[in-house]
Structure 1
């Protein structure tokens, strides 16, 4: 199904897009063609969705190092139709055991973000490979070692630097050049940033991936590579606190997904500290309005997306944190009575003045709201295999290029900057304050939506804190407005970031700014570089059509059979 004409005319004008051919058996959507090709090759060899995700992540470490890699963390959902099991996985990084709430304070004031993010201080214990290893033990179909062959070959033979990677290297050339590993990987022998089309080889990463293929995630968390990680962090001019024990002791969490009815679907996402509960709360608020009659690119749609997002972000900034350390009231935030009460504040005629956090189910601890901070990075992967297993995974090093530290060919994350720099505000603690062993709050929101007990939609996005709004918009665009996945991925963005409504510059969304301002809304028009990946499942008896889409703002593709 093509987008309606009025929508097609309002899509991002500077980007060409075309609907990929539907698949009948299996599909991979990834943010780089080489990563998608690796995932599809694994599926064609008899692998399952988890196997494909391992191969895709290994390749992304090479070809999209500014966004994700084995030095970072991830959240994932996996559906097995044979057992009717939806498993959630939390591979989020953790703070070193020695970390204290004042990690990012200097003279009791927050450090400048860029200064805090560069170097060892911001590096969290990576979790993505431990998570994928545990999931592979539970659901993998092929041998672990075989899943790294595509990435090892590409790292040795090299690949052409993409336009997006070339721009990222050039933009971050100064801090990258200061790190020996990054300088070796991303610059010419003369010290110039690798240009678009240049061949990038990473033999150090090939050796690391061989070690992981042979030893499992232990290769990263114990032994020589782990020693190099700790030394790079602790010996940096902006040193961190990570120890060998922190790396060796990391454990992923298998978690219960949070699921909620939305219209005729059931939408599921990982629990806190992911952004999934915030996505679900926005959808619950939007469920009080008839979105299907609205113009997807019109002012009323932007107003509802923005106002619902502003309310949910107010609650997020008060309550969302690692549930292993803080009581996160997700059931209360999604309680129909609470959502109904919150939805009364939303009006198409007049914006809220200053949304505040609510009090779900008389939640007790007197918490302060976290002040605004930057959130960046990420890649998103969507897979459906020939057995109907579905996977939605969002993965990140924060970034771009994480902490600007490379060890053994891969980038180390700067995820600890996702904690609140201020541990308390006006004498009240911030839920997302730093603590040893704690996982920082995240925006990553991989989603699987079901209809009549079967997968209908797999979606998620890159894009820092804006991921939450991008994922909501992809769900509304497909399930409410009936857009095909490529039209949904290309739809101009409108949504909230904290108390602000944001509209995507250079698109039809920006044309409604004056209308929203006239309704009293705080509006900013800006670049909104999402990275959405979508698979829509259509059924006709026993036959399937898998319709995939990758965000045209980036370099991804949907490939299938």
Structure 2
């Protein structure tokens, strides 16, 4: 079955609303929000959404559905995430909120010179990415198992069956996967990936081609039977180590003991107030929770609800807040097991009120400098230079018992390190570390160290009301732009009262402490002159988010999936 035909089959299941939602205030043409009474799933791929809903219908929990979903995403959206990568998950069981850290770790042989050339200069980015050097110990499998122990209802092995069956019978190549394969420069250097994704003449398989992955099915069968031990030890683990260390041009130095020692971590989420809501996200090593809370806190004193979501004055304020959040992010955020990360100080009300005074409605501040929250010396760390690219995936799931999962997973760049092992791709997450270990002799918090987890921008987010009741779940792929995407969606839902489909469809804008970026071809060009008059350097860029959002309503749930990608919302 062609991908488009499958999508047409699934869409009628999504359209449960009596009437279509109005267009977003931005004027961006969008599809209607999805409504359901009892449960809802939103993933980046139709096959994955179907697997999630089927799991819930079998009596599975939100965590069970998330596991089944991730295994399918690794097959049908291999450019973005998979068992060769890492993830962060927020989980609300109806009473308690927790989070799971499945971020990759650096091998014990890694040190601060990992991405430096012999002359001390940083390597070219893709020279560092392609090959074994950039691969961190994958964390998804261990994290999913830890989450299942906390909130799974169905047997572990049963959750692998949808992906195993799909891998053996085949799935239709989507337009997005086909397009990315066609523009990809490095993937064909790997013999397994070339044989799997491309035709004999080197062209990508056409849209709608049925792609089978028996190697992935075999890998999942072993994981279903033996659990994470089958991945981190034995045949699969050795294949991972060999692929990394034997790369001809850019080998890594991972040991079998690095895999065997990996542990996922249950962490306390980071929460803070925004107006009458409580917003919760991941704490370090993600920078997402801190930066999103900073964005909201910095903007709280402005009357956003009375402002246009896409007006030049709104874009100005949002960009200025973005700069301040990124200045702090690039100075302080890193793995908390290696660095004293001042998360609470960075999101404290007094600190954000002080920093917010740097934002003036009539003039851009230019480039922002990091602040000094109480008790923290600015000179403690140097500025980070880590790039972070946008090939990631996000899912939200609410089950019939009101349990909620918001999970973002990634292999980092599109197709990760371009190494394929046993039917799945390996990540390049170590390039999320700063390539420079210091700034003028001052160590960078996010420098490479053995066993360390690289900083991330992944921002799975849950919002609660003043009675502790679940209000909404959201998140996005998009590299470092995730912070802006999620913050803007929260404003759309909480301040501008958009429905979830309208909110995730808003034209994007933001600033990562440099140029102010406007999403191209989304009607924002008319604001460029006004922004430049305020002192902004403005450019139009592609901003391909993959947002989704689920909102609790008086009668159940409403959901939306980003029209920029292939996400689908399903509900019962």
Q: Secondary structure of 1:362's match?
A: coil
Which residue of structure 2 aligns with residue 264 of structure 1?
Answer: 276
Tell me, in whole angstroms, the C-alpha distance in 1 between the residues paired with 2:21 and 2:32: 10
Please list, as runs of the form range in 1=range in 2, the aligned pairs for 1:175-254 lying within 5 A after superposition: 175-236=186-247, 237-254=249-266
Q: How large is the RMSD of aligned CA atoms in angstroms? A: 1.3
Which residue of structure 2 aligns with residue 156 of structure 1?
Answer: 168
Tell me, in whole angstroms, the C-alpha distance in 2 between the residues paired with 1:72 and 1:317: 23
Which residue of structure 2 aligns with residue 559 of structure 1?
Answer: 570
> Does residue 327 in structure 1 map to residue 344 in structure 2?
no
Q: Deviations over 1:346-398 (max 9, x none)?
A: 01210002210011113136211113624231000000000000010000000
> Does residue 146 in structure 1 map to residue 158 in structure 2?
yes
> Does residue 528 in structure 1 map to residue 540 in structure 2?
no
Tell me, in whole angstroms, the C-alpha distance in 1 between the residues paired with 2:34 and 2:346: 40
Which residue of structure 1 aligns with residue 49 of structure 2?
Answer: 36
TM-aligned CA distance change 1:21 to 1:367, over 3 Å = closer
Which residue of structure 2 aligns with residue 443 of structure 1?
Answer: 457
Q: Secondary structure of 1:549's match?
A: strand
Contact kept, 8 Å, 1:2 with 1:484, in 2: the verdict is no
> Does residue 315 in structure 1 map to residue 332 in structure 2?
no
Deviation at 1:188, TM superposition (A): 2.1
> Does residue 120 in structure 1 map to residue 143 in structure 2?
no
Q: Identify which of 262, 267, 282 aligns with 1:255.
A: 267
Which residue of structure 2 aligns with residue 419 of structure 1?
Answer: 433
Deviation at 1:331, TM superposition (A): 1.1
Contact kept, 8 Å, 1:153 with 1:206, in 2: the verdict is yes
Q: Identify which of 276, 283, 287 aligns with 2:296.
A: 283
Q: Deviations over 1:36-95 (max 9, x none)?
A: 0000000000000000000000000001110000000001100011xx110111100000
Normalised to the residue count of structure 2, the TM-score between the two structures is 0.94
Alignment: residue pair count: 549
Contact kept, 8 Å, 1:2 with 1:483, in 2: the verdict is no
Deviation at 1:9, TM superposition (A): 5.8
Please list, as runs of the form range in 1=range in 2, the aligned pairs for 1:252-401 lying within 5 A after superposition: 252-274=264-286, 275-364=288-377, 366-371=380-385, 373-401=387-415
Q: Deviations over 1:185-214 (max 9, x none)?
A: 201244431121111111110101111111
Contact kept, 8 Å, 1:3 with 1:483, in 2: the verdict is no
Q: Deviations over 1:535-556 (max 9, x none)?
A: 01012xxxx3211111000000
Which residue of structure 2 aligns with residue 10 of structure 1?
Answer: 27
Tell me, in whole angstroms, the C-alpha distance in 2 between the residues paired with 1:522 and 1:453: 41
Deviation at 1:4, TM superposition (A): 6.0
Q: Secondary structure of 1:88's match?
A: strand
Q: Secondary structure of 1:481's match?
A: coil
Which residue of structure 1 aligns with residue 182 of structure 2?
Answer: 170
Tell me, in whole angstroms, the C-alpha distance in 1 between the residues paired with 2:524 and 2:402: 36
Tell me, in whole angstroms, the C-alpha distance in 1 between the residues paired with 2:303 and 2:26: 23
Tell me, in whole angstroms, the C-alpha distance in 1 between the residues paired with 2:332 and 2:495: 29
TM-aligned CA distance change 1:2 to 1:449, over 3 Å = farther
Tell me, in whole angstroms, the C-alpha distance in 1 between the residues paired with 2:134 and 2:386: 17
> Does residue 54 in structure 1 map to residue 67 in structure 2?
yes
Normalised to the residue count of structure 1, the TM-score between the two structures is 0.96
Which residue of structure 1 aligns with residue 7 of structure 2?
Answer: none
Contact kept, 8 Å, 1:49 with 1:390, in 2: the verdict is yes
Tell me, in whole angstroms, the C-alpha distance in 1 between the residues paired with 2:127 and 2:498: 43
Q: Secondary structure of 1:122's match?
A: coil
